[in-house]
Amino acid sequence: MTLIRPTERTTLHRMPQRASYDRALLERILDEALYCHVGLVVDQQPYVLPTIHARAGEQLYLHGSSASRLLAKASAGIPICVTVTILDGLVLARSVYHHSMNYRSVVVLGNAVEVTDQNERLAALKAIVDHVIPGRWNDVRGPSQQELKATRVVRLPLAEASVKIRTGPPIDDENDYGLPCWAGEIPLRLERHSPMPDPRLAPSILVPDYATGGR
């Protein structure tokens, strides 16, 4: 097991038994999650920006509009926080206080930098597209120079991060286990449905395998 060394900022103090610094586990959660939230402070005001991400090795890539003030600040090297959460279920306890959710979450802290090298930018954008739909990049038109100019890509190292997970049934107070109410877990999952073709799609174009399978 390869571990990420916890720092003062990533050491969990509340429910520390749910913490993990296993790099492989962190990578699996980042790879499964379809989007993330980026938190940063701009002009003394806190903001949270939802965006699509992709992991490549020990780097996390984020992208957005080149006109985005938040990404512009992030790419300048100010501290940011990236979070990912996968909701796995609802946990219904015998008391209101102990209701919870089962989840897998990641927090990554650090200073992002803008990706300016053209080859790395294209590789990062390909990773982001294929992160959502593996194999899609090679089937469609690549970005034009104007589209690349309108897109900002930033890179964040996976050096300071932590994982927090909750699994299993509710944990009630011992005196509550005899209460006559249902308790347990309601599993949840993100489910893919049948693809719906664009009304202007040529009838001869078949649905690709990656659009019907995958996650």
Type of residue numbered 61 = Y
Q: What is the pLDDT of residues 127-184, one digit of tens each?
A: 999 999 999 999 999 999 999 999 999 999 999 999 999 999 999 999 999 999 999 9
Q: What is the pLDDT of residues 104-113, one digit of tens each?
A: 999 999 999 9
- Degrees to nearest 5, angle at CA 189 with 183 and 193: 140
DSSP strand pairing (53-56 vs 59-65):
antiparallel
Could you give the domains of the chain?
A: 16-212 (2.30.110.10)
DSSP state of 208: P
This prediction has a pTM of: 0.92
Structure tokens given for 164: 């927090």
Type of residue numbered 203 = P
